[in-house]
Structure 1
């Protein structure tokens, strides 16, 4: 089956652990109607609210019984179970990306991390609402074995979730998908699980003919299916060199500057895509970091001496006394390394600095009209309790990938495949 346009019929979805709204945005762009989303952190919810609750381009329906506030999924389950039961037969899809730090190869991969159990809350809502389809996104490590206390491999948590969903009557299929193959200028391998109610897992494969669908989707988007979008395609117009620096006004803090936004005279196809619905207002979140001369010099040394697109070596770190464990200087002609929640994990391909929030958002495929809210960064003890803009972007599902998945689900539904 190839790619085709979505018909007028729209399915309804709920987004759990929604973050700032990348998955919801992509599904809405694919033609799905969002009922509501649940996000616990105030910062991410503020961005979600600004763009997808109070916004004008895409909006959730939002039921009257559910407060428009940030909350945990457990709060939804404990306080609105009757209302959730009433949604049976009215919700086609439950989507979500439970927090993934405990599974991530970039972290400690702790099998006892309490955040691993948040998938159980996702399953509980599924059990109550009983939607036709499920879409679960996570890091690649979700499908990797942990070492148990005896040093032996345990089964991946993905198989634990799969068995739980099968017990609820769902056929389950999953793949590891590389974001760069779907129009996202970032390698970012992601675990994608799709499930369908009243279907046998042995006969359920929504990913069949995925390559044919992928090519059709990218061509329709005006993107080349044979060459990934590069970093320069995505953020080349935001280079600072040669531009005036003006005060940054969207962070609520004085003393910061940003490069004056200049509309590109020859935007890449990818950039045209991200700017297609933007009005004359420049995108927000362009604030430049304040680097000391020592830090800027160190970054310039990395750009001068290290291979681009590859994490700097331990030998280089030792030689130049760099404490940071993982820094990747970007290659402008290739997709980016994975955008994380830490601003200094990647360096600009040309200028000795970290990327702005907007540049990271471009690498995540957020459109320029999508405005991030809240503080830019936090440190110390507050890092555990807040979700600043850099973290919002790093945690998000790339909207273009989410849009493709939404269209993939719709294609499967229309095909009548099981």
Structure 2
């Protein structure tokens, strides 16, 4: 066995991927001839006189090309090729069988075992050079593919780390958005307000809330920001700051009086103010729909402005359902948009329901949307339940309508239950 000077990082001729060639032949003369030819071509050459010796070399040395005689005593070239293929390797090794056989059956057998090419004895140096060049092309493509795969794997691992970090941030963002609806059930004298906020993803653009007003009234709002995700959630959070009783001076539904205290700004004016804020201050490509309602706790008189949001529902004490509204324009789309209010009166035990289009536009498996008729049926079905349980039942029934595959849009809902004026809690 003969070995030339071999360095692990040596490159083959002209930087080729084949650097090291293992020549296997029981004929010393044939080996010498091949070694001389390959050395002139600039390769590092190792020679072995048997298949067993060649396999031992291949186990300990990185070999890019094996040129082996087919017919040898002991382990023949075919068996060597099979065992060479079974070795654990980081890269592919090219295998050329030397044979005096030219039967098609023999060639097919060699290909089945794992040989890449064949050379017929006696060997022509030009043909040998051409066969090695073909192997070079295959190995180069294999190395390039491996490198691209490595880059893909590394990139996917980096993306996975980024996704994990983003996922953690989104989970925290969801907690913060849910905290905007601190109390899912609030009691205001003769009225009880139950709230639902259920984004389809980590965060969404829906928001509902309630706040106290002077003159024994309460405000209830439902908004739906266009789009989904973080941008929509951030905008909905900012809008919530304009409709909060935590900071009355910042609530656009309230007008601070010079002598102290606040008076109530009409719902249509509130919509107009929010439209101006969206178009002049925020300068966002997003917009939102909204329903804003004021309910008088002593009389049930209700003032509502609808801004592109679904029509409010009244669930009457007799469990009948009626829709109210005039549509209106969304907020943040049209500079000179005008908004109008309408009125209705809640009777004792009536419920006012403000909801997002995630209910009415929910499709079943055939693509048919629930629409107002289906929503009315869902509302009426749960009419006898307490407000919070009613909301849970509505979501359950909506999911059943959708086929149980999960809901694709954000859901939000505010249910105002109006009691007898003397039934305060």
TM-score by length of 1: 0.22
- Work out which structure has the larger RCO, using CA pairs closer than 8 Å and 6 or more positions apart in sequence: 1
Query: In proportion to residue count, which structure has more strand?
Result: 2
TM-score by length of 2: 0.22
Larger gyration radius, structure 1 or structure 2 = 2
